[in-house]
Amino acid sequence: MAVRLLVALLIFSFASFTYASDPDPLQDFCVGVKDDEAKVFVNGKICKDPNMVSANDFFFPGLNMPGNTSNPLGSKVTPVNVNQLPGLNTFGISLVRIDYAPYGLNPPHTHPRATEVLVVVEGTLFVGFVTSNPADPNVKNKLFTKILYPGDVFVFPEGLIHFQLNVGKTNAVVFAGLSSQNPGVITIANAVFGSDPPINLDVLTKAFQVDANVIKYLQSQFWWNID
């Protein structure tokens, strides 16, 4: 009996620690504001008066329409997250439609707050993701890749760098679900070489082990966001 009681107490203790942890962020940051200066800024979105809610708050039209892929990357993401569909607030889900021109690319990026599961509707895609840094410094980050066809499904784990490339000669279309109402997107090239203000030249030349002129060239490019 004493052993069972001890086990029950341990389970309760661990459960308490679990429930006491901070909630996952729903935006990039939530800086604390002094009480006397506070406005309505929350980790997520405040709730609309239930008496003012209508069916339109849970409705988003137009995902049958292809996105405009006339850009240097040849792809377009059409998001449906809490910013487009307010009824998603607090539900922890969202989705996107992604269109690709022939050989169009959704470049290496991460979703800091969501796992993504993708299904191909049209076309042929080369997709992949890279693991986080291994514990052993002598082991490289592992790349997982797959060729996808209509009806195929692939999952990209939360926070990991991933990409999709249309390897076909025709347009491609996918739909993807994400495990956050506001998944966030960090496009690697844009963030590293297109930030405002720019990252210090010394930081990037040492990080990438290249000549400063290479970094200057990359920073001078126009980095395109497709969402």
Per-residue pLDDT reduced to its tens digit, 142-197: 999 999 999 999 999 999 999 999 999 999 999 999 999 899 999 999 999 999 99
pLDDT at site 111: 96
Instruction: Please provide the distance, in angstroms rounded to a whole number, between the alpha carbons at the two ends of the chain.
Output: 59
By C-alpha distance, which of 86, 104, 108, 100 is closest to 182?
86
Q: Decide: 178 and 156 in contact? Cβ < 8 Å.
A: no
pLDDT at site 21: 40
More confident residue, 166 or 51: 166
The overall average pLDDT reported for the chain is: 86
pTM, two decimal places = 0.83
Would the pLDDT of 38 be above 90? no
Three-class DSSP category at 167: coil
Q: Decide: 129 and 161 in contact? Cβ < 8 Å.
A: yes
- State the Cα angle at 105 between 215 and 185, rounded to 5°: 70
Q: How confident is the model at residue 222 (pLDDT cuts 50, 70, 90)?
A: confident
pLDDT at site 31: 45
Main-chain phi, psi angles of 37, to 5 degrees = -110, 0
Would the pLDDT of 75 be above 60? yes
pLDDT at site 30: 55
166 is in an annotated binding site: no
CB atoms within 10 A of CB 23: 7
Total residue length of the chain: 227
Would the pLDDT of 12 be above 60? no
Q: How confident is the model at residue 51 (pLDDT cuts 50, 70, 90)?
A: confident
43 is in an annotated binding site: no
Would the pLDDT of 224 be above 90? no
Would the pLDDT of 45 be above 90? no
Mean predicted confidence (pLDDT) in 59-65: 95
CA distance 130 to 44: 29
Q: How confident is the model at residue 119 (pLDDT cuts 50, 70, 90)?
A: very high
109 is in an annotated binding site: yes
Q: How confident is the model at residue 37 (pLDDT cuts 50, 70, 90)?
A: low
Which two three-digit tokens encode residue 121? Answer: 């509707």
Three-class DSSP category at 198: coil
Q: Decide: 130 and 102 in contact? Cβ < 8 Å.
A: no
Would the pLDDT of 208 be above 60? yes
pLDDT at site 3: 47
